[in-house]
Amino acid sequence: MWKGRFSKATADLVQQYGESISYDWRLYKHDIAGSIAHARAQVKAGTLNQDEFEQIESGLKSIEKDIDEGNFDFSIELEDIHMNIESELTKRIGAAGGKLHTARSRNDQVATDTRLYCREEIDTITTQIKELQTALLKQAEQYADAVIPGYTHLQRGQPVTVGHHLLAYVEMFSRDIDRLTDARKRVNVSPLGSGALAGSTINLDRQQIADELGFDRVTTNSMDAISDRDYIMELLFDFALVGTHLSRISEDLILWCSAEFGFATLSDAHTTGSSLMPQKKNPDVCEITRGKTGRLYGNLISLLTAAKGLPLTYNRDLQEDKEPLFDSIDTLKIALAVNAEMIAEMTVNVDVCLAAASDPMLLATDLADYLVKNGVPFRSAHELVGQAVAIAVESKTPLDQIDLTKISEHYGADASAVFSLETALKARTNPGAPSIKNVKAEVARWKKTL
Tell me if residue 82 is catalytic: no
Q: What is the mean pLDDT of residues 220-247?
A: 98
Evaluate if residue 2 carries a pLDDT over 80. no
d(C-alpha 268, C-alpha 257), whole Å: 12
Given this model, what pLDDT does residue 395 score? Answer: 96
| From 75, 153, 190, 247, the catalytic residue | 153
Mean per-residue pLDDT over the chain, rounded: 97
pLDDT tens-place string over residues 22-65: 999 999 999 999 999 999 999 999 999 999 999 999 999 999 99
Whether 373 and 169 have beta carbons less than 8 Å apart is answered as no
| 33 contacts: CB under 8 Å, gap ≥ 6 | 116, 213
With cut-offs at 50, 70 and 90, classify the pLDDT of residue 306.
very high
Whether 190 and 206 have beta carbons less than 8 Å apart is answered as yes
What CA–CA distances, in Å, run from 26 to 77, 114, 191, 213, 325?
17, 10, 20, 18, 12
Given this model, what pLDDT does residue 446 score? Answer: 98
Q: Is the dihedral of CA 244, 245, 250, 256 positive or negative?
A: positive
pLDDT tens-place string over residues 341-389: 999 999 999 999 999 999 999 999 999 999 999 999 999 999 999 999 9
Q: Which of 261, 220, 413, 440 is nearest to 348 (CA)?
A: 261
| 243 contacts: CB under 8 Å, gap ≥ 6 | 289, 292, 293, 296, 297, 331, 332, 335
With cut-offs at 50, 70 and 90, classify the pLDDT of residue 8.
confident
Evaluate if residue 1 carries a pLDDT over 80. no
With cut-offs at 50, 70 and 90, classify the pLDDT of residue 7.
confident
Q: Percent of the chain scored above 70 by pLDDT?
A: 99
pLDDT tens-place string over residues 68-97: 999 999 999 999 999 999 999 999 999 999
d(C-alpha 431, C-alpha 439), whole Å: 10
d(C-alpha 433, C-alpha 172), whole Å: 16
| From 174, 274, 302, 408, the catalytic residue | 274
pLDDT tens-place string over residues 247-265: 999 999 999 999 999 999 9
Residues in the chain: 450
Whether 431 and 425 have beta carbons less than 8 Å apart is answered as no
d(C-alpha 418, C-alpha 240), whole Å: 43
Q: What is the mean pLDDT of residues 309-329?
A: 97
Evaluate if residue 10 carries a pLDDT over 80. yes
Given this model, what pLDDT does residue 95 score? Answer: 96
Given this model, what pLDDT does residue 6 score? Answer: 79
pLDDT tens-place string over residues 50-62: 999 999 999 999 9
Evaluate if residue 443 carries a pLDDT over 60. yes
Q: What is the mean pLDDT of residues 387-398?
A: 97
User: Using CB atoms within 10 A of its CB, is residue 45 exposed (0-12), middle (13-18) or buried (19+)?
Assistant: middle
Q: What is the mean pLDDT of residues 303-328?
A: 97
With cut-offs at 50, 70 and 90, classify the pLDDT of residue 9.
confident
State the number of CA atoms in the 13 A half-sphere of 106 facing the CB.
17
Tell me if residue 416 is catalytic: no
Evaluate if residue 241 carries a pLDDT over 60. yes
pLDDT tens-place string over residues 109-165: 999 999 999 999 999 999 999 999 999 999 999 999 999 999 999 999 999 999 999
